[in-house]
Copies of this chain bind each other. A is one copy, B any other.
Amino acid sequence: MATLRGFGNPLSPSGRAALVDDPPHHISADAIQVIYRVDPDKARAYLPDGLDLHPDALAYAYVADMVKVSDSHPDQAWTEPQWSQYQEGILGLYCTYQGQPGRFSAYIYVSEDWSVVFGHFMGFAKKQGVIHKTKIQPANPAFGPIGPGSRMRGTVDRFGRRIFNVDIQLTEKIDDDAVPSHGHRVYTYRHIPSPSPQVPDQRQLFALDLDRATTIDAWKGTGGVEIFTDVINEDLDGFQPLEIVEAYSFQRGWTTKAGATLLREDHR
């Protein structure tokens, strides 16, 4: 009798062929995040039942260079650097569940397949994208050191189309905890369609509390968001910015475990 191993497919005798490594995953981000106001009537339509939009109708646009080290492969960043790196772009909404604040990422674009699939397992709405973020190397004669006035842009493309830009111009260094965290609580909505009429689809709302979250190198700035609504396989109207509220640049780290709390299950 076979004993097939792995966190997910492909299962194999040793387990080492799985697309996604066993969690926990130690994650970190070198990020730009712009918080902005959207039309609440349009934005609500993107929230799963149970989540209430932030009273100020706050959305966020985020682009980051990411590192993931699987707990089961502590030397991963060293032995095969490609496996530990990805880029990520997010459009999401701040919200509450029964009064408890958090965030819901309605669209997540990542560069790597394993991250897309891990997202679908966890309830993160991921697709693959081509993501870039300004890289300021202070030794470059064209740059000064990173400081007030430095400008950075994050860009997300998919299928040869620009999806969104997120911009920041730094104004001041701030304390690490001055970057709003909304409880480091992430709401995810898992929708796993079924291959068979005999098996129901799964639609589950989860809360995932990020473990060991740390923020460093935080800056505040002026920001901008540009959403390209002519992209025909996206549905981004509810994310058009009405007003920019805040813009941040920071480094953040945390650990993602398969330890989410099930909040509700929807049946159709």
* Interface, chain A (partner B; CB < 8 A): 1-4, 6-17, 19-20, 26-30, 44-49, 65, 67, 69, 71, 74-75, 77-85, 106-108, 113-114, 116-117, 119-128, 130, 132-143, 151-155, 157, 159-162, 188-199, 204, 206, 208, 212, 214-217, 232-236, 238, 251-255, 258-262
Whether A214 pairs with B139 at a CB distance below 8 angstroms is: yes
Whether A260 pairs with B196 at a CB distance below 8 angstroms is: yes
| Chain B hits for A126, CB < 8 A | 9-10, 19
Whether A153 pairs with B259 at a CB distance below 8 angstroms is: no
| Chain B hits for A85, CB < 8 A | 132, 135
| Chain B hits for A17, CB < 8 A | 107, 233-236
Whether B196 pairs with A261 at a CB distance below 8 angstroms is: yes
| Chain B hits for A20, CB < 8 A | 193
19 A-B pairs besides A78-B153, A117-B117, A195-B259 with CB distance below 8 A are: A8-B193, A10-B127, A16-B232, A16-B234, A19-B116, A29-B139, A69-B140, A78-B151, A80-B233, A81-B133, A82-B159, A113-B127, A116-B117, A130-B160, A138-B216, A141-B212, A141-B254, A157-B160, A195-B260
Whether B262 pairs with A199 at a CB distance below 8 angstroms is: yes
- Bound-state CA distance A217–B139 (Å) is 9
Whether A137 pairs with B7 at a CB distance below 8 angstroms is: no
| Chain B hits for A67, CB < 8 A | 135-137, 140, 143
Whether B251 pairs with A138 at a CB distance below 8 angstroms is: yes
Whether A12 pairs with B192 at a CB distance below 8 angstroms is: no
Q: How far is the CB of A20 from chain B (nearest CB, A)?
A: 8
Q: How far is the CB of A267 from chain B (nearest CB, A)?
A: 14
Closest 6 A-B residue pairs measured CB to CB?
A157-B160, A139-B253, A28-B140, A10-B125, A69-B142, A26-B142
Whether A196 pairs with B192 at a CB distance below 8 angstroms is: no
Whether A82 pairs with B132 at a CB distance below 8 angstroms is: yes
